[in-house]
């Protein structure tokens, strides 16, 4: 057996929900502690670093706004990879992953929208404008809500899986639009200042708290996602056991 097929076998071992439950039980407490520690350091840095010479205190909104916005896009990317897993490899956990991620993604998107609004009012003088960046993120929020609604509307997880996987992949076109909207169109929203080809243009005073908060949000996302996936596996087990109980009760009668 070569190394490649061994790696594939290890990966497909993870596809077994029972094994996933066992492994995730080991990993979850560490992830939870790590996200709490990172969040504590991030919050400390967010409030101890200096304010901006133009924006004053409001620059601190960036430390929650920007990580939330990054996570809203990363969560959708995780869902798109899961959708591929459902459609191409029929990975049994792929649909569980996509379904568990949707409410978390919607929450981070809402957080990005609201904190952006709270930042826009003092700095731009308006809560909201329909520019390309804000509109495309709002569309992302609506897509999350649509996917949650679709999953809830269908009783059979197997049927909902395919439909929502196709919808997720179609909607993925929005992610590059969000990312590059500030370059392609003239927006009130500023262009990227961290994730750019020529390196960050943001002052290190602001970069550090931002990066630590981004790391905290990322670890927190994976903690929540893994926990939500466990819940989803249990939910499906309960459903199938209830169905089985009903079937055997019918047979006895």
Q: Is residue 102 within the footprint of another protein (CB under 8 A)?
A: no
With respect to another protein, which residue has the nearer C-beta, 19 or 196?
19
Q: Is residue 34 within the footprint of another protein (CB under 8 A)?
A: no
Number of residues that bind another protein (CB under 8 A): 37
With respect to another protein, which residue has the nearer C-beta, 35 or 174?
35
State the minimum distance, in angstroms, from the CB of residue 122 to another protein.
5
Q: Is residue 99 within the footprint of another protein (CB under 8 A)?
A: no
State the minimum distance, in angstroms, from the CB of residue 28 to another protein.
10
DSSP string, the chain: --HHHHHHHHHHHHTSHHHHHHHHHHHHHHHHHHHHHHHHHHHHHHHHSPPBTTTBGGGGGHHHHHHHHHHHHHHHHHHHHHHHIIIII--TTHHHHHHHHHHHHHHHHHHHHHHHHHHHHHHHS-S----HHHHHHHHHHHHHHHHHHHHHH-S-HHHHHHHHHHHHHHHTTHHHHHHHHHHHS--SSPPPSSS-TT---S-HHHHHHHHHHHHHHHHHHHHHHHHHHHHHHHHHHHHHHHHHHHHHHHHH-
Segment 114-173, which members bind another protein (CB under 8 A)? 114-115, 118-119, 121-122
With respect to another protein, which residue has the nearer C-beta, 114 or 154?
114
Segment 224-243, which members bind another protein (CB under 8 A)? 224, 227-228, 230-231, 234-235, 237-238, 240-242
Which of 104, 143, 182, 214: binder of another protein (CB under 8 A)?
A: 104
Residues at the contact surface with another protein, assessed by CB under 8 A: 18, 21, 56-58, 60-61, 64-65, 68, 103-104, 107-108, 110-111, 114-115, 118-119, 121-122, 220, 224, 227-228, 230-231, 234-235, 237-238, 240-242, 244-245
């Amino acid at each position: 057996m070569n190394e490649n097929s061994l790696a594939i076998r290890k990966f497909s071992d993870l596809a077994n929900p029972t094994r996933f439950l066992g492994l995730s039980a080991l990993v979850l407490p560490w992830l939870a502690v790590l996200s709490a520690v990172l969040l504590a350091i991030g919050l400390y840095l967010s409030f101890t670093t200096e304010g901006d010479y133009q924006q004053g205190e409001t620059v601190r909104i960036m430390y929650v706004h920007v990580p939330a916005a990054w996570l809203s896009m990363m969560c959708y990317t995780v869902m798109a990879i899961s959708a591929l897993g459902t459609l191409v490899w029929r990975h049994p956990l792929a649909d569980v992953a996509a379904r568990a991620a949707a409410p978390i993604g919607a929450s981070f998107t809402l957080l990005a929208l609201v904190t952006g609004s709270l930042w826009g009012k003092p700095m731009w003088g308006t809560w909201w404008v329909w520019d390309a960046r804000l509109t495309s993120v709002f569309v992302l929020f609506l897509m999350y809500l649509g996917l949650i609604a679709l999953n809830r509307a269908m009783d059979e997880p197997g049927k909902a899986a395919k439909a929502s996987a196709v919808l997720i992949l179609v909607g993925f076109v929005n992610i590059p639009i969000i990312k590059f909207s500030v370059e392609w169109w003239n927006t009130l929203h500023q262009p990227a200042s961290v994730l750019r080809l020529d390196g960050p243009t943001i002052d290190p005073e602001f970069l550090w708290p931002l990066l630590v908060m981004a790391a905290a949000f990322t670890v927190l996302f994976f903690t929540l996602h893994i926990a939500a996936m466990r819940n989803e596996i249990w939910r499906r087990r309960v459903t199938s056991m209830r169905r089985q109980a009903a079937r055997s009760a019918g047979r006895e009668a």
